[in-house]
Structures are given as structure tokens and as C-alpha cells.
Amino acid sequence: MDVVADDPGADARTSRAAPSSSADDVELAVSSVILALLPHPETGLATPWLPLVRRIRQPQEGMWALPGGPLRPDEDLGTSARRTLERTTGLTPRYLEQLYAFGGLDRSPGARVVSIVYWALVRPDEAALAVDGENVEWFVAAELPELAFDHAEIVDYALQRLRAKLGYSQIAHAFLPDEFTLAQLREVYEAVLARQVDPANFRRQMLASDVLEPTGRRVEGTSHRPPSLYRYSGDAAQGRRNLLTPREKSV
């Protein structure tokens, strides 16, 4: 095998000269899936919502799309995602993580675009402070309008990843205040899994695991038997950030 031919060590640095140049043919975008758990307008139950931006140009003008845009030469990937989040919601992300790079050949008409997608998880108290950017509207993730390009698939993937990470990480913490009740924690699980969770079993499992620790405090201002407050033990930050985010990429 002639590895030299493609100069695999060149890592694209010879692409200007090479016929397989990507620079002129593939555009690079950074888009974001911004998720918050908010009450469903009819049921009132917490459910994932996300902001979309209405396209004001062709192709697919007028359709709803994920916020994002071309990667600027002067910003790294996380910076681009943070800028999108700020521009779309006015928020500074607590939890922002690279989700996946989508680069299918058929994902858009016209120019080939590879989109590196980030996802931000927003707490209700943060979402309450969100200011919609122009052409921005929040939607229930399970009831989205038709989206531009392959963005519906990207949203599905983000929700799938969220459900999976609930099982092996403290990602639920990204949707909770530092101290929370077991009912609040269960509500996060029910919203993400889109199904009811048995309170007794949930309580047993959570307390059996060593990820929660009681703060010794209880919810104030409630009537008799106020619920106890818990926090995530160990690195409580884990739910807020992906600890496996490479150093220079950490956000």
C-alpha cells in the first residue's frame, strides 16, 4: 500500500496542491442543539425544548434550522458554539459539549457542508433568563416542524445520546440546581426518557448508588414534611461538563 501517495501524515496541509483538496470543496459549519427541560404547553409535564432559527435565505428559505454558522477562521470550535448560544438565547452555557460531526455527502443541496455539532444543556432557571434572538423560536423537541437539511436527524441523535448518558453519567445534573430533591431529579429522568418512573424504585436506586449525598437541608417554605435536598457527590461538576473534553477544547 502506497501510503505516500495520499501523504496521510500531511493531515490536509498539502490539500491546496492535492486533487483531493477539501479546502475548496467542503465548507465547515458549527451548529448547536440547545436543550432545556420545560413544561409541555398541554400536559404541563417537563419535556425537552430547543430553540430553532428560521432561515431567511436560500436554500430552504423559511424553514426552521439549528442555530449555527460557518466556522470563523479566528475562533476554535467551542468558541463558535458559545457565540451561537449567546446569539440565539443570550445565555452563557454551563454545559456545552461537542456532540458529533455530520458530514454525509447528501445532507444538503449545493455546496458540501460538514457540520460539527455541539449541544448545550440549559437549566430551567437559565432558560427563564433566555432572550430569543431574531427569527428564533423555542419548540417542544418531540413536536418539531419540518427542519432544514438533516437537522431533524441531528436533533434525534442528541436526544438519543441524552437518554443514553442518563444511564452512565451524571448528566442529569446539567438540568438541576446544585441542591435538588429526589422529585426534581426524577422529573429530569421522566422528561428525558419521556415516560413515568416509579418514585419508590427511583428513590431506592438513587440512594443505593453512591452518586448522591444528602445536604442535611430541606426545602424551605413548604408545609409539613418538607423534602430533603441532595447534591451530587464527588465531582459534581461532572454533569455540567464532559470531563473527557480535550483540554484546549474545554468550554
Residues 169-198 close enough to bind a second copy by CB under 8 A: 169
Which one of residues 3, 43, 216, 223 is an interface residue with a second copy (CB under 8 A)? Answer: 3
Which one of residues 35, 116, 127, 229 is an interface residue with a second copy (CB under 8 A)? Answer: 116
Which one of residues 195, 224, 225, 247 is an interface residue with a second copy (CB under 8 A)? Answer: 247
DSSP letter string, 39-72:
E-TTT--EEEEEEEEE--SSSSTT-EE-SEEEPP
Contact of 181 with 188, CB cutoff 8 Å = no
Contact of 210 with 147, CB cutoff 8 Å = no
Contact of 99 with 161, CB cutoff 8 Å = yes
Asked if 38 interacts with a second copy (CB under 8 A), we say no
Residue 55: name the closest of 159, 149, 156 by CA.
149
Q: SS3 for 126? A: helix
Asked if 241 interacts with a second copy (CB under 8 A), we say no
Number of chain residues interacting with a second copy (CB under 8 A): 92
Strands 228-232 and 212-218: antiparallel
Residue 63 φ then ψ, to 5°: -80, 160
Tell me how far the alpha carbon of residue 121 is from its chain's centroid.
5
- Helix 182-193 × helix 199-208 angle, to 10°: 110
**CA atoms of 35 and 90, how far apart (whole Å):** 14
Residue closer to a second copy by CB (options 60, 181) is 60
Stretch that binds a second copy, among 120-128, 159-167, 175-183, 201-209 (CB under 8 A): 159-167
Stretch that binds a second copy, among 4-12, 182-190, 208-216, 231-239 (CB under 8 A): 4-12
Asked if 53 interacts with a second copy (CB under 8 A), we say yes
Residues 130-149 close enough to bind a second copy by CB under 8 A: 131, 133-136, 148-149
Stretch that binds a second copy, among 81-89, 188-196, 216-224, 228-236 (CB under 8 A): 81-89
User: Who contacts 165 (Cβ-Cβ below 8 Å, separation ≥6)?
Assistant: 171
Residue whose cell numbers read 417554605: 221
Which one of residues 164, 183, 193, 237 is an interface residue with a second copy (CB under 8 A)? Answer: 164
Residue closer to a second copy by CB (options 21, 92) is 21
Which one of residues 38, 65, 152, 166 is an interface residue with a second copy (CB under 8 A)? Answer: 65
Look at the alpha carbons of 182, 94, 115, 11 in this order and tell me if their dihedral is positive or negative: negative
Q: How far is the CB of 54 from a second copy (least distance, A)?
A: 7
Residues 92-111 close enough to bind a second copy by CB under 8 A: 98, 100-108, 110-111
Q: How far is the CB of 56 from a second copy (least distance, A)?
A: 6
Asked if 33 interacts with a second copy (CB under 8 A), we say no
Residue closer to a second copy by CB (options 18, 38) is 18
